[in-house]
Each structure stands twice: as structure tokens, then as C-alpha cells.
């Protein structure tokens, strides 16, 4: 490798790092979301009202062994109170997580316990209140 090609590679790497840093700092104040579907040990990241949720699962005996933590997304001065949830779901089964604001979300165990995903509560589907835009 010549000096010129190493300098070009170094500048390319530096430009990539600067662009990545700018993108991360621009979104640092906004919580990330991931509604899935996700595979084993990959996180679901969601918000229900003022509650934040992180959930993941491991396949065990053909089921989704789900672990989730729910906590308040409040002012930085308010201490966090969190709740841990552990549940085994058969493929096709859901667990419903409710927030104090009468909002909820469901976690669905996929076929063969291969995925976990956030799905709309049944009342949103029945009433047509689900916005898919």
C-alpha cells in the first residue's frame, strides 16, 4: 500500500466517523424505537404513554422466554421505578403491557419461537384506530 492510498483510507475513515458522530448527536435526545420483529436476544424498544419498555427473548423448548423491563420516562430529577416481567409464550401467544394512561401494547411470539414483535392491541384493530402510515 502506498502512502497516498493509506492517506485516502485514513481520510475516508475520519469522514465516516465525523458523519456517524453528527448523526448520533442529532438523535441523542430522542429515544430509539424498535418494534420488531426481532430475533433471539435482540431488543424491542418501545414507549407506552410515559412508560419505556425494553424486551427480548430466548427460545426455550419451542416457546419464547420473554424478559421485559418497564420504567417511567419522566423528568431527569424523578427517580426511576422499574418493573421486570418474565413470561413464557407459546408461538402465536401475546402478552399485553398496560401503562397508567390507559394505553397498551402487545408482544407476540412468532412461529416456532423465531421472532418477537410489538403488535397493536385488539381494540385498535377492531375500531380501525390503528394508523399504519
Phi-psi region of 22 (alpha: psi -120 to 50; beta: other; left: phi over 0): alpha
pTM of the model: 0.68
Asked if residue 66 lies in contact with residue 109, where contact means CB atoms within 8 angstroms, the answer is yes
Q: Is the pLDDT of residue 131 over 90?
A: no
Residues 6+ away with beta carbon under 8 Å from 114: 39, 59
Question: Which helix H or strand E contains 60, and what residues bound it?
Answer: strand 51-60
Write down the pLDDT at residue 122.
60
State yes or no: cis peptide before 37, omega within 30 of 0.
Answer: yes
Question: What is the average pLDDT score of the chain?
Answer: 77
Q: Is the pLDDT of residue 108 over 80?
A: yes
Alpha helices in 27-71 (DSSP H): none
Q: What is the pLDDT of residues 57-90, one digit of tens each?
A: 999 999 999 999 998 877 677 776 888 999 999 9
Amino acid at each position: 500500500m502506498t502512502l497516498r492510498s493509506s492517506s485516502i483510507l485514513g481520510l475516508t475513515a475520519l469522514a465516516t466517523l465525523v458523519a456517524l458522530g453528527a448523526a448520533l448527536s442529532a438523535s441523542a435526545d430522542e429515544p430509539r424505537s424498535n418494534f420488531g420483529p426481532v430475533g433471539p436476544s435482540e431488543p424491542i424498544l418501545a414507549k407506552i404513554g410515559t412508560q419505556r419498555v425494553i424486551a427480548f427473548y430466548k427460545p426455550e423448548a419451542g416457546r419464547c422466554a420473554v424478559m421485559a423491563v418497564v420504567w417511567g420516562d419522566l423528568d431527569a430529577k424523578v427517580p426511576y421505578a422499574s418493573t421486570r416481567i418474565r413470561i413464557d409464550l407459546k408461538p402465536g401467544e401475546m402478552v399485553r403491557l398496560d401503562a397508567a394512561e390507559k394505553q397498551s401494547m402487545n408482544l407476540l411470539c412468532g412461529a416456532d419461537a423465531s421472532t418477537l414483535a410489538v403488535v397493536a392491541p385488539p381494540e385498535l384493530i377492531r375500531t380501525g384506530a390503528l394508523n399504519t402510515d
